[in-house]
Structure 1
Amino acid sequence: MARTGTPAAGFRLGLAVALVSAAALAYQLLLMRWLAIAHWHPFAAMIISLALLGHGASGTWLCLWLRARPPQWLQARFEAAFATCALAFAGSAALAVALARAIPFNGLELAWDARQLAWLSALYLLLAVPFFFAAACFGLAFARHGGRIPRLYGADLLGAGLGAAAALALAALPLQHGLRLAALCGPCAAALVARGAPRAFAVALAAALLALPGRALAPVPNEFKSLSKALLLPGARVLAERYGPYGWLAVLDSPRVPLRHAPGLSLDHAGELPPQLGLYVDGDGPDAIVRDDGARRQPWLGATTAALPYAVRAPRRVLVLGAGGGMEVLRALALGARAVDAVELDARKLDLVRRDYARYAGGLYRDRRVRSFVAEPRAFVRAARARYDLIVLAGADSFAASGAGALAASEQYALTVEALRDYRARLAPRGWLAVTRWSKQPPRDELKLFAGLVAALRADGVAAPGRQLAAIRNWDASTWLLANAPFDAGERAALRRFAQARGFDPVHVPGWRAGPGERLHALDPPTLYQGVAALLSPRADAFVRDYKFAIAPATDDRPYFGHFFRWRSLPELWRLRAEGGAVLLDSGYLLLLAALLQAAPLALLLVLLPLRALPSPTDAALPRARAGLYFLALGAGFMLIEIATLSRLTLLVGHPLLAAGLGLAAFLLCAGLGSLEAQRGAAGAADAALAARARRAVAAIGLGLAWQFAVFALASHAGAAWPLWARALCGLAGIAPLAFAMGRPFPLGLARLARRAPAFVPWAWGLNGCASVLAAIAALLLAMAFGLRATLLVALALYLLAAWAWRAERTPARAG
C-alpha cells in the first residue's frame, strides 16, 4: 500500500471512511424497517438513540484506549486498527440482526412480564454494537490524521448522504439482502486501507457474509400480527411478496379455511362470502382483494355498517382514500356509484389488483367507472378541484395493532382535525364523509374520532354539529358519517330503516335515540353512547378532560391518533392487568417509556462514567457546571428538533420510514457542513469571539425554525398538487438552513474548551452524547404530550439556555 501521507493513500482512506459512513446510516434505516416487521412500529427514535449510544460509547472508550498508548503506536498500527474496526462493524452488523431474531422480546407483554424490560435492554445494546465499531473507524481516522480532518469529515458526510439514498434504493430488495450489502461495505473499507493479513480477513469475511443464509437476517413477524396468525390456518400460504419504501407487502391465500375480512357485517346476513386474498404490510393487516366476476354483484357488501351512506342515498361520484386491495371501490360500484376515484399511496397495491390479480378481482381497477391515482391521500384532496357525493376513508388499522395500543407513537395525519376539514372541503353541498372503525371496549378511538368530527365542524363554523353527524355500530365495528349539510327528514328516516333492517344499533342519528331495550348489541356500561352524547353537549370539554383515556382530537401538531394513555388511569389499569386490563395500557407508549428508562443507565455506564479514569481539568477558572450545561443543552436540543422534524416531514412524504431516510440525510449533511464552517478561524479566535459566534448560531437556529414552519406550511398547502419528489425537496429545503445552524454551536464550544481545559473535551463529548441518547426518545414522548411545535420551542429554549449558561468570561481590568 502507498505510504500514509501519499495522495493515493489519502484518497483510499477518504473512500473507506465514506463507505463505513454510508453503511452505518443505511444499516440504521434498514433496522427501522426490520423492527417494523418484527414488531409493530419502526421505532425510529429508539434506533436513533441506540446508534448515538454506540457512537458515544465508542468515543469514550477510544479516548481511554489511545491515552494509554504513545502517539507512535497509532502511527505504526493505524491501518490494521482501522481495518479491524471496519471488519468488526461488518461482522457485528450481521451477527446482531441474527441474534436479535432469537431475543424473545415482545413489546405487547411489557405490561405484565417484567422480563421484557431485560430483553429490551439486550436488544438495545446488541443493535448498538455495530455503530460502536463504525464510530471507532471515524475516531481512529481523525486521531491519526488530524491535519486531514476537514476532508475526512467531508467524506463522512458524503457517505452519510449516499447511505440514506442507498437505503431507499435497497428498499426494493428483500430486507435481508439490504442488510447484507450494508455489512459488505465493512470488508471493502478494510481492504482499501490495509494489506496483508487484514485484507485476507476482509476477503474471508466478505465470502462468509455472501454465504450467510438470507433467513438468518430476515425479520420474523411478531406472533400476534395478523399475517402470523393467518399463516396458522391449514393450507395458508404467501403467494407473492413486494418490497419498497412503504414496507414489505405480502399476498396470502387460504383455500382450505377461506379468509373472511368483512368489518361490520350484519349477523343476519346468511349468504356465503366470496373468496378473498389478504394483503399484509409488514405482517399487519389485512386489506383484501375480493374475487369478483366483473358483474359487481356482491350483496354482502350492502350488509355491513360501511354500506350506510349508500342505503341513505346512492352517491353518483365517490372518492376512496386508501383504496388498497379495492374492497371499498367494489362496494361503491356494487351499491350504485357511477364514478369512483381510487387514491392509494402505495403503487404496489394498485399494481397487484390491476395486473397480477386483475382476473381474480374481475378487472376492478380497469372498470371504466374507476380512475386510480397513486398519491398521498391528503395531498390529493387538497389538490383536487372536483366535488364528491361521498368520500370514504378506507385503510383502517388492524384490530390487533390498534387494540393493543401498538400504534400509540405512530403519526396518523389522515385522522387529524385538519385532515377532516380538508375532506369536508371536497364534499358536494349534500355530500358525506364515511369512516369505519373497529369497536373496542371501553371505547377509545371511536370517541376520539367522533371528537375530531365535532371539532372539525365547529372549526368550520357549524354551531350544531350533531345535526350533521350520524353513526351506527355492529358487534365488531362502527361507521361514522359527517354530512356537509344537516340530514333532512328523508335521510334520517333512511338511516333508521337501514339500521333496523340490518340489526345495527344507532350510536347517533339526529332525531332518533334508541333506548337500552332497543339495542341489539348491548354494552355494559353504555360508555360509547354516553360519550357521544357528552361530546355534543356543553360539558364536552369536561368529559374529554375527565375520561380515563386520552380522547382529545388528533391534530397536525399532535398526530398520534392511537395514543390514549393517561397517567392517572395507570394504577387502576395496573390492578386490572391480570383480568385483561393490560391490553388497555398502550404498549407502544409503554415501550417508549421502557426504552427511555433503560437508555439512561446504559448511557451513563458506557459513555460518561468511564471518563472518570481521565484526569480532571486543571483550569480553576473554567466554569465546569456552566460548560457542562452548555453541552448537555446542545445535545438535547439537537435531538428534540431532529425527532420533531422527522414527524412533521411525514406529513409531506406520507410515510415515517421515508421521512426518516430523507430527514436524517439532510440533518447529517447540513449539520456537518455547519460544523465544518464553524471550525474555520476558530483556532486563533479569542474566547469572547467564539462565544459571540455561538450566540449568533443560536439566533440562526431560531430563524431556521421560523423558516422551516413557513416552508412546511407552503409545501403542505400551496404545494399539495406537487409530486412527491417536489414536496420532499421542499421539506429538505426547510431542514437545510436550520440543520446548518444547528451544526455550529458544538464545535465552537469544543474550540473554547480545547484552549482552556483540553482534559475537559472528552467530558464534553460524553455529556453531549448522553443528552442525545436520552433526548432522542424523550422528544417523541414530549411531542405526544404537548405537540410538535411545543417540542421545537423547548429545543429552542435549550439552545438559548446553552448560549446563556456559558457566556464569555470577563477579563478583570489590570491596574496601570
Structure 2
Amino acid sequence: PGGGKDVLLALLGGAKEITAVEINPGSIKAVQEFSSFNGNIYDFSNVKIFVGDGRSFVRRSSERYDIIYLSLVFTQKASMLGYSLAENYVFTKEAFDDYLDHLDEDGRVAVLLHDSSDLLKTFTTAISVLQDRGISPEQALKHIIIIQENMGMEIPDLAHFPLFILRESPFTREEAVDILKTALIMNKRPLFIPYVYEQEPYSLIGPSISLEEFISISPINLKPVVDDRPFFYNFDKGIPPLLAVLFLISLSLAGIFLIPYYSKRKKEEIKDSQAAPSIFHFLLYFTCLGVGFMLIEIALIQKFILFLGYPTLAFSVTLFSILLGGGLGSLSSNLIRKRPIRNISWIALGIAAIALAYIFILPFLLDRFLSSSVLTRSLVAMAIVFPAGFLMGIPFPSGLRVLNDFFPQDIAWMWAINAVMSVLGSILAVIIAILFGFTWALLAGALAYILIFYRFRSLSVLSGPPEEQP
C-alpha cells in the first residue's frame, strides 16, 4: 500500500474488509507515525496490514478476495538494475494463476500499470494463463477489460497508467455496457471492453492471429514470463544490449588473462609421467570452478525469493548458507590429502548430482513448507543449500594443493583466473536465465562440475607429484 493511498480509496469506496501487503516495513511505520495527518487509516477495524511480498502472501493465504489489486508494483528502472536478484514474481503466469485461485466468484484481479509496454505484456500473460485453463483466445478476450486516464487526446499506441482488469468468468454484455458508462462518467478512456469497445491491438487475438503470432510480430518482447524466467520488464528480444556489452567486457578481460598465459605455457608439460595433469587441466579446472560456482549460487538465490517472501532475506539466507558451508568444506579439505585428484573428481560429481537433484526436489520441498513461518522457511532454505555449499567449498583449496605439487609457480595465475571466471559466471547466469530460465542456469552449473569430473577422472591414479610415483 505504500503511503496508504489505495487503502484510503478502498475505505472511501465502502470496502468492508481490506487486507494490505507492503514489502517495506518503513512505509508502514511512516503511515503510522503520521496517523494524525492521514486519519489513522491503518488502525481501522476492517483494515489488516501485513509486511511481506504480495505474491508470496497470496500463495500462503487460504482466504478468497473480491478484488486483488496491484498498483504500480514495480518500476522498470528498478527491475532493469537487478536482473538476477529483483523480486519480479508478481506478473508471472503462475502469479496470475495464484490470483485467480484466490478470488471469490466473480472476483477480479486489477493491475495498475505504467505504459503500453507493460500493459501489452500483462495482456499476453493473462491470455496465456486463460488458454492454459482451456479457454480459447477469442473467448479469453471476454474476461479482460482495459481502461486508462483520459489525457484529453487520443494517441493509439500510447497508454498512460492503464488499469487492467481480469476475471476468471467472462463479463456479460450487460456488465460491459455498465462498465463503459461508469468509465465515461468518471472521465476514463476505454482501451478494450468486450462487446462494446473492442479496439486493436487487443482485438486482433483470436479471429485474426494467434497469441504466438501476436507476440512474434511485436517489436518488443511480449513473451509471457514464468517463475523460472521472471524478467517482466525485459522488453528486449534476446539478450539486453547493456547485459551483452557487460558480458563482452568480462569475456575480453578473461581473454587478457587466458590468451597470454596459454601462449606462454603451450609447450610446457610434465615429462616424467604422461598420466600427470598438464597445466591445461588446471586451467580448465579453475575456470569451471569459477563459472560453475556462480551459476549455482545465483540460480539458488533466485529460486528462494518467492519461498522466503523477501529478496534481501533470500539473498542473505542463501549466501550465508553457501559461504558457511563453503568455509567448513574448505576446512575439511585437509582430510582428503590422500589421492586428492581422485577425491576432487568425485566431489565435483557430487556437486553436480546435488545441483541436478535441486531441479526436481526444490519445487516439492518449497511447496511443502510454503505456509510455515519466516523462521521455519529460512531454516529449511539453509538446510537445503548447506550441503551444496559444503561440497563446493572443497575443490578450490584441494585444487590449489594439487597445483602446488605440480606447478607451484602458477598458483597466483590460477587464483586470478578463477576470480575472473567467477565474474563471467555471474553474468552468464543472468543471460542463461533470461533466455532459458534459472533452471537451465542451475543445469549449466552442474555441467561445469561434470566437466571437471570427466577431465580429472583419468588422472585419479595419481596421489601426489610426479616424483612420488613409482
What TM-score do you get using the length of structure 2 for normalisation?
0.85
Tell me how far 1:561 sits from its aligned partner. 0.8
Per-residue deviation, residues 329-348 of structure 1 (Å, max 9, x unmatched): 11212122111111222222
Report the Cα distance in structure 2 between the residues aligned to 1:545 and 1:729, rounded to whole angstroms.
43
Question: Does the 8 Å contact 1:611/1:763 carry over to 2?
Answer: no
CA distances 1:114-159 after superposition (whole Å, capped 9, x unpaired): xxxxxxxxxxxxxxxxxxxxxxxxxxxxxxxxxxxxxxxxxxxxxx
Tell me the equivalent position of 2:154.
Answer: none
Q: Distance in 1 between matches of 2:281 and 2:76?
A: 51
2: distance between equivalents of 1:797 and 1:344? 39
Q: 1:536 to 1:698 in 2, by over 3 A?
A: farther
Residue 306 (structure 2) aligns with: 651
Other-structure match for 1:519: none
CA distance, structure 2, for counterparts of residue 505 and residue 605 of structure 1: 57
In structure 1, what residue type is equivalent to 2:292? G
What are structure 2's unaligned runs of at least 5 residues? 152-159, 463-470
The equivalent residue for 1:460 is 133
Kept in 2: contact 1:408–1:560 (CA 8 A): yes
| 1:557 alignment counterpart | 228
2:243 to 592, 598, 610: 592
For the 8 Å contact 1:450–1:532, the answer to whether it is kept is no
2:157 is matched with none
Correspondence list, 1:616-765, <5 A = 619-620=270-271, 621=274, 622-682=277-337, 685-686=338-339, 690-709=340-359, 712-714=362-364, 716-765=366-415
Structure 2 vs 1, CA of residues 378 and 645 (structure 1 numbering), >3 Å: closer, same or farther? Answer: same
- Contact kept, 8 Å, 1:607 with 1:770, in 2: the verdict is no
Q: Does residue 20 of structure 2 align to residue 336 of structure 1?
A: no
Summarize deviations over 1:190-221 as a string: whole Å, max 9, x none: xxxxxxxxxxxxxxxxxxxxxxxxxxxxxxxx
TM-aligned CA distance change 1:811 to 1:327, over 3 Å: closer
Match of 1:313 in 2: none
Give the 3-state SS of the residue equivalent to 2:20 in structure 1: strand
Instruction: Give the whole-Å Cα distance in 1 for the aligned partners of 2:77 and 2:302.
Output: 24
Instruction: Give the structure-1-normalised TM-score.
Output: 0.51
The residue type equivalent to 2:183 in the other structure is A
SS of the counterpart of 2:197?
coil
State whether residues 596 and 774 of structure 1, in contact with CA within 8 Å, keep that contact through their aligned partners in structure 2: yes
Partners of 1:725 and 1:345 in 2: how far apart?
A: 17
Distance 2:207 2:324 in 1: 50
Distance 1:400 1:738 in 2: 34
Q: What do the CA deviations read for 1:701-745 (whole angstroms, capped 9, x no partner)?
A: 233225544664356433333222222222222211112122233
What is the alpha-carbon distance in structure 2 between the residues aligned to residue 749 and residue 701 of structure 1?
15
- How far has the Cα of 1:593 moved from its partner? 3.3
User: What's 2:95 paired with?
Assistant: 419
Letter in 2 for 1:563: N
- Aligned mate of 2:4, from 322, 326, 338: 326
- Counterpart for residue 360 of structure 1: 37
Residues 425-574 of structure 1 aligned to structure 2 (within 5 Å): 425-439=101-115, 443-463=116-136, 464-474=139-149, 475=151, 476-514=160-198, 529-531=200-202, 533-534=204-205, 538-566=209-237
Percent of residue pairs identical = 28
Are the structure 2 counterparts of residues 531 and 751 from structure 1 closer, same or farther at C-alpha, using a change threshold of 3 Å?
farther
2:417 to 767, 771, 781: 767
CA distance in 2 between counterparts of 1:618 and 1:648 reads: 43
Aligned to 2:54: 377
CA shift in 2, pair 1:795/1:651, >3 Å: same
Cα offset, 1:358, TM superposition: 0.6
Aligned-pair Cα RMSD in Å: 3.0
Residue pair 1:707, 1:734 contacting (<8 A) in 2 also: no
For 1:377, the aligned partner's letter is G
Cα offset for 1:657?
3.3
Q: Hey, what's the Cα distance between the residues in 2 that align with 1:719 and 1:537?
A: 45
8 Å CA contact 2:100–2:168 kept in 1: the answer is yes
1:237-259 deviation digits (Å, cap 9, x = unpaired): xxxxxxxxxxxxxxxxxxxxxxx
Amino acid in structure 1 at the alignment position of 2:270 = D
Change beyond 3 A, Cα 1:806–1:767: farther
Change (3 A) 1:493 1:370: same
Deviation at 1:364, TM superposition (A): 0.6
Q: Greater relative contact order (Cα 8 A, min sep 6): structure 1 or 2? A: 2
The residue type paired with residue 465 of structure 1 is A
Q: Distance in 1 between matches of 2:297 and 2:78?
A: 27
Aligned residue type for 1:480: F
Q: C-alpha distance in 1, partners of 2:76/2:61? A: 31
Larger radius of gyration: 1
Q: How does 1:770-781 map to 2 (within 5 A)?
A: 770-781=420-431
Name the counterpart of 1:786.
Answer: 436
Provide the rounded CA distance (Å) in 2 between the counterparts of 1:483 and 1:542.
24
Letter in 1 for 2:230: P
Q: Map 1:32-71 onto structure 2 (within 5 A).
A: none
Q: Which residue of 2 aligns with 1:275?
A: none
